Structure 1
């Protein structure tokens, strides 16, 4: 079926652009709201000394006799905020109610902090590292607290992970190392350019057997250092996308205007979720 896209003039200024949210990003009349439950975690073995909060968004359609899909978002509070750019809980409520995605439990996880430390944030150490430490932290410390309480499918085709900036990089790396668990990825303005030791993916992706991943990427024309030879966030995202294309991955890249802001990626989250969970034979 051909989809006709309405004409919209391109802005002349590529920096001062803001994208409007669609109807799936706002509470809709007749759509039941899910329940959001907050948790604290202060006993991390992977990141000793850190504390963090995480939230479980339980959709109104959840039935404990029918295991639900799972989507994990980094920077949980930011991604859950109903007045923010992403509005994750609201989006899940709308898409599930209208049958656009399966019944899905949302897990929104904040990065760790060190209480009382001069540099309290552990976000970059967790999110930008090229290793399996963070994904195993999720699988061994956080997700068991969810699966102990709620019924979640073990099918990795129904497990997604996403985020923006360093959180997008984190989501990609998590699925890269553990495709046996996570096979659906959302990465918005991902911070590949600031990975310690450099971005390994453009060279790595074509060299290893293709992993069973479906990946939605968003990049911005005016992202950080967009016209510079070093630490160029736009270029690094394009290089990762090109490597995925050449390696035959099931991926989608959406390129927009504006700077390093969660706005564009946030407005795309409903479309990203629909695309990630589309039927296997739909391209």
Structure 2
């Protein structure tokens, strides 16, 4: 089946491009609104001394008798904020109402902070590391708290993880190291360029057997250091995408304009989720294809 995409001119000046949100990112009068519950987490064994909040969004259609899918978002409030760029709960409610994605509980996790420290932020330590501490933190501390209250599917094909910037490479690393738990991944403007020991994935991806992951990547033409030889956010995302393409992964790359902003990724969230949760009969169209589009929305 051929899908025709309407012509839209691309911007000549790429320095300050803003994408317009679609209807799936706005409250709809006919869509039941789920419930969002806030939690504090101040007793982490993996990141001792840190404090953070996380939010659980329970859809209106949730039924404890039918275990729900799970979608974990890094930078919790940024991705949950209904007035922000991503508007995660609104998007989940709209897509579930139409049956575009399964009934899904959204978990929005803030990075940790050290309340009394001169430099309280622990975000980069948690998100940029190439190790299993963060995914273990999710699996051993956060997800069990959610599972105490709500019925979550055990099938890893029903678990997804999403993040942007450092949260993007964090989401990728979590699924890469634990594909037995997370198999659907969204990474926006991922900060592979600032991983402490360098970006491991361009060399690592082709060297190991293909993992059962479905990966949606977004990169920006004018991301950080886009035309410089070192610490180039755009180039490192393209290198990861190339490795995935050459290794036959089920992935999609959307390349947009503008800089290091959550705007484009936020606008793409409905499409990203639809693509991640698409049915098996559509999968053959994308396996190993590495579809790329300018996605001027």
TM over 0.5: yes
- Tell me which residue corresponds to 1:29: 29
- Tell me which residue corresponds to 2:268: 268
Q: Distance in 2 between matches of 1:267 and 1:178?
A: 28
Q: Secondary structure at the match of 1:275?
A: helix
Q: Distance in 1 between matches of 2:93 and 2:124?
A: 30
Q: Secondary structure at the match of 2:280?
A: coil
Aligned pairs, how many? Answer: 283
**Alpha-carbon offset, residue 15 of structure 1:** 1.2
Q: Superposition pairs for residues 214-229 of structure 1, below 5 Å? A: 214-229=214-229
Q: Secondary structure at the match of 1:125?
A: helix
- Tell me which residue corresponds to 2:85: 85
Deviations 1:172-203 (CA, angstroms, capped at 9, x unpaired): 00000000000000000000000001000000
Task: List gaps (5 residues or longer) in structure 1.
Answer: none
Deviations 1:79-130 (CA, angstroms, capped at 9, x unpaired): 0000100000000000000000000000000000001101100000000000
Q: Superposition pairs for residues 136-151 of structure 1, below 5 Å? A: 136-151=136-151
Q: Distance in 1 between matches of 2:142 and 2:4?
A: 42
Q: Superposition pairs for residues 1-283 of structure 1, below 5 Å? A: 1-282=1-282, 283=285
Tell me how large the CA RMSD over aligned residues is: 0.5
Q: Distance in 2 between matches of 1:118 and 1:153?
A: 41
Q: Distance in 2 between matches of 1:115 and 1:252?
A: 39
Q: Distance in 2 between matches of 1:171 and 1:225?
A: 22
Q: Which of structure 1's runs of 4+ aligned residues deviate more than 2 A?
A: none
Q: Distance in 2 between matches of 1:227 and 1:280?
A: 39
Q: Distance in 2 between matches of 1:194 and 1:173?
A: 14
Q: Distance in 2 between matches of 1:61 and 1:84?
A: 24
Q: Distance in 1 between matches of 2:193 and 2:150?
A: 37
Task: List gaps (5 residues or longer) in structure 2.
Answer: 286-297
